[in-house]
Amino acid sequence: MTQYTELRRELDTLTTEAFRPELAEIDRLSTLEIARTMNAEDATVPTAVAAQLPVIAAAIEAIAARMARGGRLVYAGAGTAGRLGVLDASECPPTFNTTPGREVVGLIAGGPEAMVVSVEGAEDSAELAAADLDALRLTAEDSVVGISASGRTPYAVGAVRHARALGALTVGLSCNADSPLAAAAEHGIEVVVGPELVVGSTRLKAGTAQKLVLNMLSTITMIRLGKTYGSLMVDVRASNEKLRARSRRIVALATGAGDAAIEAALTATDGEVKPAILVLLAEVDAATANRLLAASDGHLRQALAATGSV
């Protein structure tokens, strides 16, 4: 028996790899019929995610607690799963003003090159995952999320096992039940989306499910850390014209102030939205606003409460 025979047998057991006879002649359908079929398949994904919400929430609480103490959120995956982790990490700096590459980190098997081309053998190496985490100088305050549609990718499983051995919090996100990844992690999130429209193409429903969960992990963690005020993105980094306009709109929505007052507040706070809101609502100067925010660990609502403004 070759290693490929054993791997083939393993793939035969995975829900995400299952063959669906009812789709055997999908290529004979019209383009509109295929699109309707695919859309119907995609519509089942949120329900699969909903079944895992208690597990997801528990993972978020644990991640947020460690990040509040200075820990990092690290995603580790290969192929599509790795790309989704890197994507989510890369969106956190402009959205939540995190430090690029330091607070939320995305690791993909094979390194940055693997974002656009396949790096042969990288996903099969648990040792590579350990080396990538060691390069980050992982600590017990960090959280590592291994991502793998199959739940068996050696890079993702190896990352979780190595992280757990170092005392870090571990989460395993997969799309098959009873996966080695979930078993290796403290928090196993298994979003079972079923067989794909195209056999084995786990960038489809499985990829969508992973993206939805990663959205939750990062966004709700940031909400818990005080990166929003209600639903307002008050830690936005205004790095371009659109974001500068968005900053002004957010301050307006939070305060109801006029344009002149908003401009004055943002000028005083070097364009930072959160202290600008505090300047306007609490009627304090920029230095006081920054001091109040530091005392409340960046939670705007708490800083406002300290001034009696809410």
Q: What is the pLDDT along the chain (310 residues), one digit of tens a residue?
A: 556 666 666 665 667 666 677 777 888 999 999 999 999 999 999 999 999 999 999 999 999 999 999 999 999 999 999 999 999 999 999 889 898 888 999 999 998 888 887 776 777 889 999 999 999 999 999 999 999 999 999 999 999 999 999 999 999 999 999 999 999 999 999 999 988 888 777 889 999 999 999 999 999 999 999 999 999 999 987 778 888 999 999 999 999 999 999 999 999 999 999 999 999 999 999 999 999 999 999 999 999 999 887 6
pLDDT at position 197 is: 80
Catalytically annotated residue among 91, 141, 186, 263: 91
Give the DSSP letter of residue 114: G
Q: Do 45-224 and 241-306 come out as alike in CATH topology?
A: no
Domain extents in the chain:
45-224, 241-306
Do 211 and 84 meet the contact criterion of CB atoms below 8 Å apart? yes
Answer yes or no: 22 catalytic: no
As a CATH number, domain 241-306 is 1.10.8.1080
User: Which whole-number Å values give the CA distances from 53 to 57, 88, 130, 176, 193, in the listed order?
Assistant: 6, 19, 29, 16, 14
User: CA–CA separation, 228 vs 142, rounded Å?
Assistant: 22
- Under CATH, what is the fold of the domain 45-224? Rossmann fold (3.40.50)
Angle at 164 between CA 17 and CA 189, to 5 degrees: 35
Answer yes or no: 190 catalytic: no
pTM, to two decimals: 0.89
Do 192 and 14 meet the contact criterion of CB atoms below 8 Å apart? no
Catalytically annotated residue among 17, 123, 190, 196: 123
User: CA–CA separation, 212 vs 246, rounded Å?
Assistant: 24
User: Coil, strand or helix: which one is 10?
Assistant: helix
